[in-house]
Chain A
Amino acid sequence: DGGITQSPKYLFRKEGQNVTLSCEQNLNHDAMYWYRQDPGQGLRLIYYSQIVNDFQKGDIAEGYSVSREKKESFPLTVTSAQKNPTAFYLCASSIGSGGPEGTQYFGPGTRLTVL
C-alpha cells in the first residue's frame, strides 16, 4: 500500500535533548512538509521541501532542523533550542508544489512529549 509513515507514534524526551522524528513516503511525491499542531491553533508549517537536497523554512522553523537526502524521507529534528516542543507533529507530501499537484496527503502523526 502506498502511503506516509511516521514513527514513532508516541515519543518522550527529557528537556534539553534533541530528538528526530521520522517521515517516509512511498508515493513517489516530490514535495514533503512538516507541521506542528497545538490545541486550538490548527496546523503551523515548520519546514517544507520541494525537491531532494532542498528545503525552505515555514512559519515556525526556529528550534527545528530537517534534511532531505532521499526523495522518500524527510526527517525532522527538534532541537533543545525549541522552547516548547511538546506537540503533535504531522508530516505530509504532495506530487508537486502549487495548484492541483499541491494536494497534500498526511501521515498519522507523532505525539512528542518533553518531560
Chain B
Amino acid sequence: AQSVTQPDIHITVSEGASLELRCNYSYGATPYLFWYVQSPGQGLQLLLKYFSGDTLVQGIKGFEAEFKRSQSSFNLRKPSVHWSDAAEYFCAVGASNTDKLIFGTGTRLQVFP
C-alpha cells in the first residue's frame, strides 16, 4: 500500500539552528514528492517539489530537500531556522499513474528564541 510517514510529530529548535524534517514513503511507482507548510488557521503553501533530475531541490523561504531513492526518503532541511518558520510541515507523494496525493500526518515545528 502507498504511504507517507513523518516520524516526528513535534520538533523544537532554537532560532539560528539547523533543521531537518524527515519524510519516508512507500510507493510502487516513481514518486513525485512535495513539501508543504501550514501556519495556524491557514491553508497549505507549497515549499518545494521533486519530479526528476537533480535529487537536491531548492524551495522557497530557504528550504531544500534531498530525494534518496535507496532510503525512500525526502527530508526537508534548512541551515538556519527563523522564528517565522514555526508552523506545521507536510510531506506528500504522488505519481504519474495516480490522480491523488498522499499526505503525511505532519510535523509541528516550534522555534525558541
> Which residues of A are in contact with B by a Cβ distance under 8 Å?
4, 6, 31, 40-43, 45, 48, 50, 58, 88, 90, 92, 97-100, 102-109, 111
Contact = CB atoms under 8 A, between A and B. Distances in A.
Interface of B: 9, 32, 34, 36, 41-46, 49, 51, 90, 92, 94-101, 103-106
A23 to B, nearest CB: 11
A98 B106 contact: no
Given A103-B49, A107-B43, A108-B42, A98 B103 contact: no
Contacts of B42: 108-109
Contacts of A90: 43-44
A21 B106 CA distance: 25
Contacts of B100: 45, 48, 58
Given A90-B44, A103-B46, A98 B34 contact: no
Given A99-B94, A102-B94, 16 more contacts: A6-B43, A40-B9, A40-B105, A42-B105, A43-B44, A90-B43, A97-B99, A98-B98, A99-B95, A102-B32, A102-B98, A103-B34, A105-B46, A108-B42, A109-B42, A109-B43
A109 B96 contact: no
23 contacts: A6-B43, A31-B99, A40-B9, A41-B105, A42-B103, A48-B99, A90-B43, A90-B44, A98-B96, A99-B32, A99-B51, A102-B32, A102-B94, A102-B99, A103-B34, A103-B46, A104-B92, A104-B101, A105-B46, A106-B36, A107-B43, A108-B42, A109-B41
A102 B51 CA distance: 11
B22 to A, nearest CB: 15
A100 B32 contact: yes
Contacts of A88: 41
Contacts of B99: 31, 48, 50, 97-98, 102
